[in-house]
Amino acid sequence: MELLLSAEAWISLLTLTFLEVVLGIDNIIFIAILAGRLPE
């Protein structure tokens, strides 16, 4: 229970969540660019 009250734990969780969102969007853009280059 002490872990949930720790400020460091919440900052780490928010940082990881932010990185996951940013990298996920980056992957979507990359796949969209590659899919646009494929022949029909």
Q: State the 10-residue block means of pLDDT for the chain, 40 residues long.
A: 83 96 96 91
The reported pLDDT for the residue numbered 2 is 78
The reported pLDDT for the residue numbered 4 is 76
The reported pLDDT for the residue numbered 35 is 94
The reported pLDDT for the residue numbered 16 is 97
What is the spatial distance between Cα 4 and Cα 29, in angstroms, rounded to a whole number? 35
Cβ-contact 13, 5 below 8 angstroms: no
The reported pLDDT for the residue numbered 18 is 98
The reported pLDDT for the residue numbered 22 is 96
Using DSSP's 3-state secondary structure scheme, residue 21 falls into helix
CA torsion, points 29, 23, 21, 10, in degrees to nearest 10?
-170
What is the spatial distance between Cα 15 and Cα 17, in angstroms, rounded to a whole number? 5
Q: What is the value of pTM for the model shown?
A: 0.67
